[in-house]
Amino acid sequence: MPINDSLPISDNLNDWTLPNVLRRQAERLGDQPFLHLVGEHTDTYAQTLQAAEALAAGLQRLGVGHGDAVAIMGPSAFELVHGWLGANLAGAVDVTINPALRGGLLEHALNMAEARIILIDEQYLPVLHDSEAKLPQLRDAVVFRAFGSPACDARPAFRRINLVPYAEVAVAGRRPTEVPVVFSDIASVIYTSGTTGPAKGVMMPHAQIVRLARQTIRGVRMTGEDVYYCIHPLFHMAGKFMAVFATLYAGGRIALDRTFAAESWLTRIREFGATVALAHGPMLEMIHQQPPGPNDADNPLRRIISVPLPKGIAHDFAARFDVRSIEVYGMTEINVVTWQPYDEPIRLGSCGKVSADEVAFRVIDPETDEPLPPGAMGEFAVRPHAPWTLMQGYKGMPEKTIEAWRNFWFHTGDLGYMDADGYVYFVDRVKDRIRRRAENISSYDIEAATGEHPAVLECAAIGVPSGFEADDDIKLCVVLRPDMPLEPEELLEHLVPRLPHYMVPRYIEVMDALPRTPTNKLQKNKLRDAGIGSAAWDRQAAGVSVRELATRLRHDGAGGQPSS
């Protein structure tokens, strides 16, 4: 199905840049409402462009030039949207990072991006201060306070990083010096967690991002009449490009929320008149677990993109809320390459059919790269038909780029099969996989933080069933050094300042040894097969709150400091 002819951007790749889309839509739609932050006001298309231009001009005054990285860290807010778009208007690369990062994970993200400037919500200044000595390239921090964000009790004194108020940078009425931006320029770096190593920065050119917006519009048949309700954060491709930017491209209106609450989801949908939404599988299951109401189907929502669509509730969810669920498969590196056909009935377990006009798709033998026949399990491999519409590599990790791009195909690391009718079924990751609440979690990061404790000899992090379909809880298996006892609560105190909340293990089991092969290779499959087990300590059963523990540790001065 072609993109709606009334939309402002042609099929010509030369038109496929974010500044071009933003300027054309602001000129075309002007005073029409575009961006609503839940609990705040609504900006029009023209106001969004003006705010982004003011920030772009300020960034240029701070020395930001073509191809420079601008890091952004904060909750979903106007400042994040203006920062991302403003960086692109200045010809720079937007690097919006997860605000839950801290310590080594934060340092890795900022150093790998080679960021000299960061736009940061005031509440995260203490976290940035803890890492200042290990961020040699970072020069300026443009500080804002998003609506509803807690105030920083006392701003820490930075030795080297210069703090600049956001209002002094984004001065209303200023316009940037126009920088030529082409479709092959890198627009954004998004960090995606690997399964066996540090997070990788996916370099996304403008053409790839415009392609993703167009895919979304086509997949759910969006128009300028649609209202999109989004609760996904802006450091993910889904929230940023499949929701905010797709809405901008379609000429619709978006309601951007910061938090998900299953009990108020339907109320939000009705409040904003949302016709399109996005959700991951566990989120849909939580909504479905809410007590049914007599008028659940009385709502404006007509399409919801799901990743994945839980098989056990798929038909009932659609009937109960009178909504069309559209399951998809994709990843930051390759965009969304399969979509449930809009006019065909759901096939349980399938993530749809390949967008064959955009990509070549194969199921291959992961050892030989030979294509496999329908029904055979193998690895998904993809390559684009048009240039610059897939990622251009992992920032600062050429060896990982080469590993993924092999024999002229991008190897996804995902296993599944295609049936005789062309429907694709995702099954699992080729390598170790932990997925929690739509986050792909690196066991490497958890293990590296755990290994910093002097009492830990070795450890392994695995995913165990959480009770939701295609979702994990985290179990940490630990072997201690002789004569160095360590209680699970003590280890948790060590991990909380070092890991994002979603990476903090729920279960901790102290073991005599980890299972290994005769050649000493760790056998994580045996740990997974063993499951949770009666010997595992459960922090939820113990009543330990990660949020409360993090607050106490910071007040005690332990945040970000090595444990003894």
Helices and strands (H, E) in the chain, number of each type: 17, 27
CATH class, domain 18-25+40-181, is: alpha beta
Q: How far are the Cα atoms of 4, 99, 277 from residue 221, in angstroms, in the given order?
A: 9, 32, 13
What tokens does 509 get?
Answer: 């089991």
Write 547-552 long-range contacts (CB < 8 A, 24+). Answer: 547/501, 549/492, 549/493, 549/496, 550/496, 550/497, 550/501
β-sheet bridge partners, residue 472 = 465
Provide DSSP, 265-297: HHHHHHHHT--EEEEEHHHHHHHHTSPP-TTTT
Determine which helix (DSSP H) or strand (DSSP E) holds 414, and give its type and residue range: strand 409-418
> Residue ranges of the domains in the chain?
18-25+40-181, 208-429, 436-555
Q: For the chain of 564 residues, list the mean pLDDT of each consecutive stretch of 10.
A: 53 91 96 96 98 98 97 97 98 96 93 97 96 97 93 88 97 95 97 72 97 96 97 94 97 95 96 96 91 96 93 93 96 96 93 94 92 92 95 94 92 92 84 68 81 90 84 91 90 90 92 74 80 90 86 68 32
**Tokens 């890795």, residue located:** 108
| Residue 483: per-residue pLDDT | 87
Say if CB 193 and CB 400 are below 8 A apart.
no
- Measure the CA–CA gap between 10 and 214, rounded to whole angstroms: 11
Q: d(Cα 79, Cα 229) in Å, to the nearest integer? A: 19
Sheet of 253-256, strands arranged across: 42-44, 33-37, 253-256, 227-230, 276-280, 303-307, 324-331, 335-339, 353-354
CB distance 227 to 220 below 8 Å: no
Same CATH topology for 18-25+40-181 and 436-555: the answer is: no
Model pLDDT, residue 544: 86
| Distance (Å, whole) CA 124 – CA 142 | 12
Residue 481 per-residue DSSP state: P
Token couple for 293: 């109401």
Handedness of CA 323, 329, 334, 337 (dihedral sign): negative
pLDDT of residue 429: 67
Please list, in sequence order, all residues whose beta carbon lies within 8 angstroms of the beta carbon of residue 309, skipping any fewer than 6 positions away: 281, 284, 325, 327, 340, 346
Measure Cα distances from 229 to 38, 255, 462, 540 in Å.
Answer: 10, 5, 33, 31
3-state secondary structure of 107: helix
Letter for the amino acid at 328? V
The region that residue 520 occupies, defined by phi over 0 for left and psi between -120 and 50 for alpha, beta otherwise, is left
Task: Give the burial string for 197-229 (b: 16+ CB within 10 Å, else e).
Answer: ebbbbbbbbbbbbbbbbbbbbbbbbbebebbbb
The tokens describing 25, both together, are: 């839509």
- Written out in words, the top-level CATH class of the domain with range 436-555 is alpha beta
Does domain 208-429 match CATH 3.90.1150.10?
Answer: no
What is each CA distance from 32 to 6, 204, 286, in whole angstroms?
16, 29, 34
